[in-house]
Chains A and B, each alone.
Chain A
Amino acid sequence: HVTNDANQRALSKEWQKSDIIARMQDEKSGIPIRTVKSFLTKIPSVFSGSEIVQWMIKNLDIEDQVEALHLGTLMAAHGYFFPISDHVLTLKDDGTFYRFQTPYFWPSNCWEPENTDYAVYLCKRTMQNKARLELADYEAESLARLQRAFARKWEFIFMQAEAQAKVDKKRDKIERKILDSQERAFWDVHRPVPGCVNTTEVDIKKSSRMKNPHKTRKVVGVLLPFLLRSRLITMKHRREQTGLLFLAVIVNRHRLKMSKVAESLLAYTEQYVEYDPFLTPPDPSNPWISDDTTLWELEASKEPGQQRVKRWAFGIDEVFKDPVGREQFLKFLESEFSSENLRFWLAVQELKKRPIREVPTRVQEIWQEFLAPGAPSAINVDSKSYAKTTQNVKDPGRYAFEDAQEHIYKLMKSDSYSRFIRSSAYQELLQAKKKVQNTKSFPSLFTPSCSDKYSTGGRADVVLLRYL
């Protein structure tokens, strides 16, 4: 599966960041880069932290300084720009100087440097007699460790470091300053200061696909003999054909208009807003805030609260979801001597939850109880489903009763369920807690259904009402 797409993929993940960097570096609309004179030296090609923050607030849809600092710090931590006088890569909203990283060192190039490269770099640093290029403590420690690890090939590493130092000396002074800082920033990303996040760490699910995209390309194109190539092509054929069949089927499927779908989504959220603890504080309180588990204890009890009973009227699935709802529905049907439909439906649901080993026996039991001629809890299914089920039972699987179950579900939904909601038993449950709640709750100016508790979970508008 791995093709040159993997490389493309890695690049496309980074395009958004490089797009922002490109805009930052734009001559006209980007951050102004300048050379700053300091003491006896010049600091080339820099801009300040505040300038970055200002640019972000002005040019991106960022609302405040906190967000700008967060994004900026991440871009620095990934190595797109860096503070020139600090190994720790963060963005500060002040006069601290920053420089852009050269694209050669961008993380989107995805090359992971080896420890030998780091050893050469640190060695080279020790050869340069400038105070500003002295090794930090953690770097000195790393160098010592690498010297021990590569003791046998140290001569080779030293030679490389020497060669690089020679090339560097030939460069222009200003150019050297810039390149040195960029190289240092590169290593700050790949060998970060202890305690800092290493942003080059990759999710293993992605890294295994990023490795060696080139190898597979070459192999498929050139080295494979004819027979194996034709095998690959027939596999691709098959995949294309199944893909085509799938497309042909779904092109003409039934679809709803967006307007209808949107209305439906709106209606659903409207209906459930009072049950959503993020939008309506739960009654009596949210356990995570108040450290009081009463809410969970109430839900576990057999006595359902009014809000919970109200939910059963939203649809038959709500009754089935709630174990107390199922119980009440069953009780109601038993009082009408018509509980076999629900019992069948529940039995089939249970069947699908059993281990596969138990399935054949359970299928027989269900058949005998509900569908066989002379069954004690005989249910009525249409002839088509009955015929199909009779066949299925001969070779019993988890879905043996699927058609029958669907038919019974539709029957319950259109008939028994609506009677249950209209029944006095249900209405009683609905009214049960209302009286108790009325004496406690205060009418609110802003929302009719409002919690009366003024604990940390309470609502500010009710508090305001008291003062009014």
Chain B
Amino acid sequence: VLNFKYRGSPLIPEMATQEVQLNETLAHLKTESETLKSKLEEERAKLHDVELHQVAEKVEGLGQFVMKTRRTLKGHGNKVLCMDWCKDKRRIVSSSQDGKVIVWDAFTTNKEHAVTMPCTWVMACAYAPSGCAVACGGLDNKCSVYPLSLDKNENLAAKKKSVAMHTNYLSACSFTNSDMQILTSSGDGTCALWDVESGQLLQSFHGHAADVLCLDLAPSETGNTFVSGGCDKKANVWDMRSGQCIQSFETHESDINSVRYYPSGDAFASGSDDATCRLYDLRADREVAIYSKESIIFGVSSVDFSLSGRLLFGGYNDYTINVWDVLKGTRVSILFGHENRVSTLRVSPDGTAFSTGSWDHTLRVCDDCYFLSNLTTLQPRVTFLVTSCNVCCFSLFFFFLSDLGLRMRTQRMKW
């Protein structure tokens, strides 16, 4: 369409006026849209009576955390682009730019399976809930499922099943709570739900105005919703049954690279190229917190919450991981270690660790260094004890003095 050459014939006057009319109605629609958008912001602002970090002042601070790398997984020959945990809390699947997809037992750091995809830039991979299969895709515009065989010698590529078909790159994929359905997002601006066995499209989701880069399923047992983020700076919440967009948020200033639900399912966090992470609450229908610093000027590639939702981990394009106190909005830890961009980050299913993948070809599994972290939080308590002891001593001393003074006065009066 866009390569069609102009034939040079003169426009008929009627056609010309039609075109003008069409443009006018389009402009009219746009102004109506702008009015509604400002009305929406008005309605949202009416209920904005307090900030999250103000309410969180009454919560005890976390102090500084010290994080440490516990495992380093080496074996990829190029940039690691994506990873996912198995429900068994120790296995990981990862995919990279050179087309390799590797399944690791991260606990022992052993490689258990490896598949070579027919394309480069495998940007999405996911572990099936049963642990018996993995899904992956990227520049091939498809999402394929590989059943994992217990026989190490078996050629996994032979059993490959093509499930999803998009018209542009696959940016993310996730199994629903079953091995039988996969949710995908793509550079073609859509998300889609597929039946794995037949490859049938069950539902498609249209509404993003540009590439969709990420998605996350709501953690509820009964819920049927998911959130997606895209290059149009929007985060959309979708109803999986109807295919409709039910909520939309547009406060980021650049592409949204990652979205993740808060563990209760009532809110979600996003990470963007504008170097900020933001928290959006679904009940308040607005952005409720921004996690940013003047000195953080590189984009966020991926985010995830700790199990209680108190900590937000962000993998950044400046090779670091920043850990945020979700309620107070402050940074509680910064982790160096990767030698290139952090491209993917996920907390393990039981929250005991988080794993990161990077353009430096490695994956790391990281943890809290309990002893050191607690030592720094201990100091305020110790100083409180010491000060309160001092206060007690001084007040006792003064009481003694005043008591003495009183006795002396009464003595004088007696005289």
Nearest B residue to A267 via CB reads: B264
Q: Using known A-B contacts A237-B25, A262-B56, determine if residue A278 contacts B368 with beta carbons closer than 8 Å.
A: yes
Taking the complex as formed, is A423 at the interface, i.e. its CB lies under 8 A from any CB of chain B? no
Q: Using known A-B contacts A262-B288, A269-B326, determine if residue A276 contacts B273 with beta carbons closer than 8 Å.
A: no
Interface string of B55-90 (1 = CB under 8 A from A): 110010010010000110000000000000000111
Flag the segment in B4-12, B148-156, B404-412 that touches A. Answer: B4-12
Taking the complex as formed, is A110 at the interface, i.e. its CB lies under 8 A from any CB of chain B? no
* CB–CB B311/A263 < 8 A: no
Nearest B residue to A57 via CB reads: B295
* Cβ < 8 Å to B, chain A residues 217-244: 219-220, 222-226, 228-230, 233-234, 236-237, 239-244
Q: Using known A-B contacts A62-B295, A257-B284, A268-B309, determine if residue A219 contacts B2 with beta carbons closer than 8 Å.
A: yes
Contacts of A260 in B (CB 8 A): 283
Contacts of B327 in A (CB 8 A): 265-266, 269
Contacts of B43 in A (CB 8 A): 251-252, 255
* CB–CB B180/A353 < 8 A: yes
* CB–CB A268/B255 < 8 A: no
Contacts of B50 in A (CB 8 A): 258-259, 262
In the complex, A422 Cα to B26 Cα: how many Å?
Answer: 62
Q: Using known A-B contacts A237-B25, A263-B55, determine if residue A288 contacts B210 with beta carbons closer than 8 Å.
A: no
* CB–CB B6/A67 < 8 A: no
In the complex, A363 Cα to B304 Cα: how many Å?
Answer: 37
* CB–CB A277/B23 < 8 A: no
Contacts of A225 in B (CB 8 A): 4, 6-7
Contact for B310 among A258, A269, A289, A321, CB less than 8 A? A269
| Min CB gap A218→B, angstroms | 10
* CB–CB B22/A460 < 8 A: no
A-B contact pairs, 16 of them (CB 8 A): A13-B254, A239-B209, A240-B26, A259-B49, A262-B50, A266-B55, A266-B59, A272-B263, A276-B310, A277-B306, A282-B352, A287-B90, A288-B352, A352-B178, A355-B195, A459-B374
Residues of B within 8 A of A (CB): 1-7, 11, 15-16, 18-19, 22-23, 25-26, 29-30, 32-33, 36-37, 39-40, 43-44, 47-52, 55-56, 59, 62, 65, 70-71, 88-90, 107, 121, 123, 139, 169, 171, 176-181, 187, 189, 195-198, 200, 202, 207, 209-211, 213, 220-222, 231, 241, 245-248, 253-255, 262-264, 266-267, 273-275, 281, 283-286, 288, 293-295, 297-299, 306-311, 318-320, 326-327, 334, 336, 339-340, 350-353, 359-360, 365, 367-368, 370-371, 374-375, 378, 381
Q: Which 8 A-B pairs have the closest CB atoms?
A: A353-B178, A276-B308, A355-B197, A272-B308, A262-B55, A16-B297, A240-B29, A247-B36
Residues of A within 8 A of B (CB): 1, 9, 12-13, 16-17, 20, 56, 60-62, 66-67, 70-71, 74, 197, 201, 204-206, 208-209, 216, 219-220, 222-226, 228-230, 233-234, 236-237, 239-244, 246-248, 250-253, 255-266, 268-273, 275-279, 281-282, 286-289, 293, 295-296, 299, 317, 320-321, 349, 352-357, 398-399, 402, 405-406, 409, 446, 456-461, 464
